A = this chain, B = another copy of it.
Amino acid sequence: MDEITTRHNEKMRRIKAARDEMMKTKTEEKGLIMVHTGKGKGKSSAGFGMIMRCIAHGMPCAVVQFIKGNWDTGEKTFLRERFADECRFFVSGEGFTWETQDRERDIAAAQNGWKIAKEQILDPEIQFVLLDEINIALRYDYIDIDEVVEFLLHQKPAMTHVCLTGRNAKPELIEAADLVTEMELLKHPFRDGVKAQKGVEF
């Protein structure tokens, strides 16, 4: 073995030892409150990637989509047509808020979504709940942030995972969460005249 290989192998051995040591302390399992926020792409996609993992592991799960009601998204078709038994799929809104232009109706839709969300989270069958784009409803105060945080911290069953997505997550939610990822936009093709495309955006 040459020197670079020897050094590399030694370094990797040290990292492995440190990681093994660290992972020994990671023994707790608990239902996580996860938040995907930021202006970048991937917030909902990552939520649906976890839904795929849940289905793979036989963990019953549920999706409540806020706001994006009218879009005929791939994930909706996919989950409703092929995995209706494994994953419950609810839509609370009717298109983006700027499509409906009716605040009263948006509030009613968001409130209805939150009611469904609570039922799913409390359901002992369900192990993972994705609240897709709920942050938009929270941002406009269509749903009360204090009520959501209180519910997640004190009424959510201990082992149930909940993932909340959407830009502009409120500070209260970030504070309450176990895991927060900010998707930052470094580059976006819309800027160069490329439209939203099948498979990528929906």
Which positions in A face B, CB cutoff 8 Å?
1, 4-5, 8-9, 12-13, 15-16, 19, 22-23, 25-30, 32, 34-36, 38, 40-57, 59, 61, 73-75, 77-78, 97-104, 127-128, 161, 174, 177-190, 192-200, 202
Closest 4 CB pairs of A and B: A45-B49, A56-B74, A42-B46, A53-B74
25 contacts between A and B (CB under 8 A): A5-B104, A9-B102, A12-B98, A12-B103, A16-B98, A16-B101, A19-B98, A23-B195, A28-B194, A30-B189, A32-B189, A32-B194, A36-B42, A42-B42, A42-B181, A50-B199, A52-B78, A56-B75, A56-B78, A128-B199, A161-B199, A180-B186, A180-B187, A181-B183, A182-B183
**A184 and B184 contact, Cβ closer than 8 Å, known pairs A45-B45, A98-B12:** yes
- Could you tell me if B193 and A27 are in contact, using CB atoms closer than 8 angstroms? yes
Minimum Cβ distance to chain B for residue A144 (Å):
16
Contacts of A73 in B (CB 8 A): 53
Contact B5 A103 (CB under 8 A): yes
**A54: B residues at CB distance < 8 A:** 74, 199
Find chain B residues with CB under 8 A from A40 CB: 181-183
Residues of chain B within 8 A (CB-CB) of A4 are 103
CB-nearest residue of chain B to A30: B194
Interchain CB contact under 8 A, A50 and B56: no
A53 to B49: give the CA distance in the assembly, Å: 10
Min distance, Cβ A53 to any Cβ of chain B, angstroms: 4
B55 touches A78 (CB 8 A): yes
Cα distance A187–B174 in the bound complex, in angstroms: 8
Chain B nearest Cβ from A71, distance in angstroms: 12
